Structure 1
Amino acid sequence: MVDRRTAKTKRAIKNAFLDILKVKSINKITISELSEKADIGRGTFYLHYHDLYDVYESVERDLYAELVEMFDEFSPYVTSENLLALTNEVTAYIDKKRELFLLLMDVHENILNKIKEIFNEKVLQDECYSEISEYEQLEALFIVAGTFGILEEWLRSGLDMPLEQVSKILHQLLMKFNLQ
């Protein structure tokens, strides 16, 4: 268990990192600049992280963990209501963290591909997929890729529509595949 001071320090480092990342590329940020912005000493930074890329990876891991937690919480294959709830939750989460997603996508364009990989693993690990054909496995991968393709287009403002509409459309598309 992480104590509150450690959690607070790590949060300050991540927030300072993200603030600076809005105006500078990651390879232009210095540990001194980040430490000053986070109001910590350089030594304190190194107690928690090896370098700036370690901070970036920690921010990504947090994002992935929250998405996996959502997936696990809603068990999307149990009922269509669960699938709708997951779709609503993920689109709301992405909308709420739009700036963070876009910022991280500027640093590492494949962040959404990593999220797709995580969801692919979750889908194929689900017990209702344990005895399915190769075709059905590919269908599941197609569904995940399509869903994240739409979310990426919406995130990058290629689709100018409110989050409720995106969520509803995604749910309607997913229901066409009878994911129950």
Structure 2
Amino acid sequence: MNKNDLRVIKTKQGIHQALLKLLKNKPLTHIKVTELCKEAKINRGTFYFHYEEVGDVFKQFFEEIMLDLKDSYNEPYRHHNTIDIHTLDPKTVRIFHHIKKYEDFYKIVLSQDVSTQYYYMLFDEIRSNFMTDKNTSSLGDITPYFFSYTANAIIGLIIEWYRHDFRESVDDMNELFVGIMKMKM
């Protein structure tokens, strides 16, 4: 079967949504194939056609989300190699659009009830996005610390937004982010 086949796409989306629903109540390591299949309304044969284990579902879903995060992070760079923070238009910031799109996933990842493993996976992905940033080439020995600092700053904003139950609009978060960046510089 072709991975672009609409049936495959819909089946995997259904499995991803079922996994999200189950992750709200239990850790990934306690989710069994049988209950995931039941939640997704598929049979075990369909599951095993696409995946070997439940962890593979999470890995694929996480990679999809992180690819979208990377695209969101890179959006302001689409037309420019470097960004001047003082002229950055909040409308070009797409990170918070991404978070809102995957709000259910982030509610799980940021929950105090889940393993910090999720936090570190998110941290590593955000940090790796900064590592490709052309604006940081002159930092020398402090570069890895700068990347970690910046990744945690972004995660801090996301956590605070999560604590507010994502009440603020995406546009409000973009304005807030750009305002903080201008204060920092």
* TM category, shorter: 0.7 to 0.9
- For structure 1, the 5+ residue unaligned runs are none
Q: 1:52 to 1:83 in 2, by over 3 A?
A: farther
- The Cα shift of 1:65 comes to 0.9
Q: Is contact 1:124-1:130 (8 Å) kept?
A: no
The equivalent residue for 2:41 is 39
The equivalent residue for 1:6 is 8
Percentage of pairs with the same residue: 20
Instruction: Provide the TM-score with structure 1 as the length reference.
Output: 0.77
Paired residues in the alignment total 177
The secondary structure found in structure 1 opposite 2:116 is: coil
- The Cα shift of 1:10 comes to 1.3
Over aligned residues, Cα RMSD in angstroms? 3.0
Deviations along 1:93-132, one digit per CA (max 9) or x if unpaired, are 2234322211234444343433332232222322332333
- For structure 2, the 5+ residue unaligned runs are none
Q: 1:84 aligns with which of 85, 90, 102?
A: 90
Instruction: Provide the TM-score with structure 2 as the length reference.
Output: 0.76
- The Cα shift of 1:25 comes to 4.0
Distance 1:83 1:134 in 2: 31
Q: 1:70 to 1:161 in 2, by over 3 A?
A: closer
Distance 1:37 1:159 in 2: 26
